[in-house]
Structure 1
Amino acid sequence: MQVGMAIASKGGLVAPCNGRAVLFREYEILCGSVTAFKWIPIQGKFTFKAVVGGKPYVCGQDKKGEPIYAASTTVDGRDYGGMVSVKTKNMIFVREGKEEKAVDYFVLCVVD
């Protein structure tokens, strides 16, 4: 399972995978109460210690089965969705068809 950004003009979900953008035509969207989740800001390397005030919500897994978490960032005034994990260290997202990294980002967390 991957984490990415649903883009209507692309006709699916765009997710970072092995350095490039991959388009998925079939995907799931997380829905629920806005009071159950919150976005917690992170600067730099992702660690559980860096997440204060919530528990990162597992949204997928990498090839080896390691958990990945939803993340978001803003670049040049545009919001991007992507993923982060302990292995990636920073947020990974797709911008203009290429995989990029962000050191300032938000992680989706379950409210404590």
Structure 2
Amino acid sequence: MRIDKDLVAASATPLVLGILAEGESYGYAILEQVNELSHGRMQWTDGMLYPLLHRLERQGHVTSAWRMSDSGRRRKHYLITDSGRAALAERRAQWSVVAEALDQVWRSATLPPTVARGWA
């Protein structure tokens, strides 16, 4: 299943902030966690993640520091800030409203026969 780019864009900030709320991480690990959380259905690229991380850093929602990995590679690690935690709480509240509205619409909607039978 392909996830529409608008939906990916809308979910990117709360996903990254949510992942970082669990602890410090670096780009590749974040990409892997998104892949794991979505059971492989959301496959982000570096070109999508790093501009988002840089924007979150400019907004003060994350900080970064270079660290050495066990293998000796330098990696830029990201950590959520208090501002980022507040932004995550706000996004979570907003997402809950949207999800509730969609759930209500979908429960009452009549699906086309092909979708109802699983042919979509």
**Shorter-normalised TM range:** under 0.3
More strand by share: 1
TM-score normalised by the chain length of structure 2: 0.26
TM-score normalised by the chain length of structure 1: 0.28
Higher-Rg structure is 2
